[in-house]
A = this chain, B = another copy of it.
Amino acid sequence: MNNDRFFDSSPDQRAIARQLYQTVVNLPLVCPHGHVDPRLFADPDYRFGNPAELFITSDHYVMRMLYCHGIPLEVQGIPSLDNSPVETDPRRIWQIFADNYHIFRGTPSGVWLNQEFFELFGITQKLNSATAQDIYDQITAQLTQPEFQPRRLYEKFNVEFLCTTDSAIDTLAHHQAIRESDWEGRILPTFRPDTVIKIDAPNWAKNIETLSEVSSINVVDYRTFLQALENRRAFFKQMGAVATDHDIQVPSLTPLSAREASQIFAQGLNGPVDEQTARRFNGHMLTEMARMSVDDGLVMQLHAGSYRNHNHPLWERFGPDIGGDLPVRMEYTRNLKPLLNRFGNHPNFRLIIFTLDESAYTRELAPLAGHYPALKLGPPWWFNDSVNGIRRYLNLVVETTGIYKTAGFSDDTRALPSLPVRHDVWRRVTVNWLAGLVVQGIIDEEDAAEMAHTMAYDLAKEAYRNHR
């Protein structure tokens, strides 16, 4: 591994970047948003499976890349809904992955995987067809070691807290188990109510029933629905939650009257509502979530702009989360106006927005965050969580907002072993960017040192109001 990776090649800037990097490299990891399964920590004896499961079948970044090169999901060992035969030998899946490993050159997955192989597993060979089985053996041997248990990795990685993402109707049993154990890791739930506040979610009526059960509030109308949601938010908060999280394709957020919302809710209980009505209700519910955030202080996260299950034939055969979620164009200035006019000036409200549409960085999101006190910008997300993606974000956003209206870094991953490398990319790219500002005379070294710490650690912690 190149110790100066992601640093500028000019000696002046590189020297400053190195210096700044030393001040942040050992800071704890703050992980306010991600998708690691809490089960990994609930079971003290949890072990990861084989290398194929760890690196391929559980990582939809890797899966979609292999798929786009013509390698069917079955061959990757992904089970289909119609139970057609799939590859079950992890060694064969690993071999195919290795045979095609060149496709990851220059991609963030390539960067992460190389660094994980080297730093976490001590692999010194390049992965390719010839080395595949040998590397498979090396990884397998290590996975059985106790230091590869999730709780040990959490400690080794020096994680300060890690937020998971949990359905609003989840019992949080795994979180309960963690809290009841003697382990001191801070695994915090995040309230994700998509399946109940989106009236057109699959099995919505069923989900409302579950909502009644878990909240012990009999949801029979819009009023009891809101009560049950408030109840669940309180429970999540009591279980350590600091935030809610929301997925919406287009952030069109116009509130409805209580009367109209009630009518649509009643209609939904009786059967499906049309697309247009659903969109209005769902948008309205986000403004209700904002209202509740003003009350309970949970930070509201908005992940906007993903068209889910775009590849319909593949979705029919394999279900969701197999790489077929694709970005669409976004408009924020007009769409967020009703919400921001209501709550954007309120000191209790905090909204963190993540975008897949980078054209909105300078045009809409930075100016909005540079005006409304409640709004912060989340870091580059998903496709844009990359060396260049972070650079673009910094260059496009910071001149308008400064760094202090951004929410620091969040790794947003389900892959626990990848936490350190993801934070490392962010830290390296940010210190190099700060070094560039110093060399150009925009900030001085004193400012740069303070900002390096802030970007590596404080911003994320402060953005999520996590000051234990």
Contact = CB atoms under 8 A, between A and B. Distances in A.
B403 A396 contact: no
A70 interface: yes
Nearest to A71: B373
Contacts of A126: 444
Contacts of A388: 395-396, 399
Interface in A1-36: 1-2, 4-10, 12-13
A194 B324 CA distance: 31
Give the number of copies in the complex. Answer: 3
Contacts of A440: 2, 4-7, 9, 387
A363 B371 contact: no
Query: Interface centre among A110, A367, A387, A401, by most B CB within 10 Å?
Result: A367
Contacts of A68: 369-373, 375, 401, 405
A402 interface: yes
B367 A383 contact: yes
A383 B362 CA distance: 8
A440 to B, nearest CB: 5
Contacts of A207: none
A116 to B, nearest CB: 15
A141 interface: no
Given A398-B106, A399-B108, A70 B373 contact: yes
B107 A400 contact: yes
Interface string A338-359: 0011001101000000001111
Given A340-B311, A364-B328, A383-B367, A399 B389 contact: yes
A407 interface: no
Query: Interface centre among A13, A329, A447, by most B CB within 10 Å?
Result: A329
A202 interface: no
A53 interface: no
Contacts of A259: none
Contacts of A67: 371, 373
A314 interface: yes
Contacts of A370: 64-65, 68, 383
B9 A13 contact: yes
A168 to B, nearest CB: 28
A164 interface: no
Query: Interface centre among A13, A362, A451, by most B CB within 10 Å?
Result: A362
A209 interface: no
Contacts of A311: 340-341, 344-345, 371-372
Contacts of A104: 402
A404 B100 CA distance: 11
Interface residues of A, number: 91
A358 B396 CA distance: 11
A254 to B, nearest CB: 14
Nearest to A344: B311
A106 B439 CA distance: 12
Nearest to A310: B337
A341 B364 contact: no
Contacts of A441: 1-2, 4-6
Interface in A99-123: 102-108, 110-111
A404 B102 contact: yes
A231 interface: no
A399 B70 CA distance: 19
Contacts of A368: 326
Given A68-B371, A383-B366, A105 B403 contact: yes
Interface of A: 1-2, 4-10, 12-13, 64-65, 67-70, 102-108, 110-111, 126, 307, 310-314, 323-324, 326-329, 331, 333-334, 337, 340-341, 344-345, 347, 356-359, 362-364, 366-373, 375, 383-384, 386-389, 395-396, 398-405, 436-437, 439-444, 447, 450-451
21 contacts: A1-B441, A9-B440, A10-B10, A65-B402, A68-B370, A68-B373, A68-B401, A69-B404, A105-B443, A105-B447, A105-B451, A106-B437, A106-B451, A107-B398, A107-B400, A110-B442, A111-B442, A126-B444, A311-B371, A323-B371, A326-B368
Closest A-B pairs by Cβ, 10 of them: A2-B441, A5-B441, A9-B10, A359-B359, A386-B399, A9-B439, A70-B373, A9-B12, A103-B402, A312-B341
